[in-house]
Amino acid sequence: MTPQTKPAPQPGQILEITVEGVKYVLDLAQFSGRETGILKRVGELRGVAEIPAALAAGDLEAVVALAVIAARRAGVTLDADRLLDAEMGAVRVHVVGEEADEANPPAEPLAAEPEADGAAA
């Protein structure tokens, strides 16, 4: 039996990234040179085109890099090393517009633990 794969987000889609209960929104349509550098250094991605495959694979470094970029766009500085050292599930990703159902839950490749807070940020 083959594992079920989730569709990967595509350029132009919006990601909602939750970091320890705080939600950030990231538009995949456009990245600055500095942001692509964060993708390379933190996420070990050679470019924006590698984002969908990395997310589909549940690549922790890629998710953390995207969280750092999303927070930076919101004027918040996140420490990538601290996030990489955090418990699995501290950073969650959801593709906006992707419907949740039992057969196709939202893309949360790093949501290894159930939500503990139960409250929306």
Domain ranges of the chain: 32-112
φ, ψ of residue 17 to 5 degrees: the values are -115, 125
Report whether 107 contacts 13 (CB < 8 A): no
pTM over 0.75: no
pLDDT tens by residue, 51-87:
999 999 999 999 999 999 999 999 999 999 999 999 8
Residue whose C-alpha is closest to residue 109's, from 92, 96, 121: 92
Tokens 């420490």, residue located? 79
Cα dihedral 101, 103, 106, 109 in deg (nearest 10) = 150
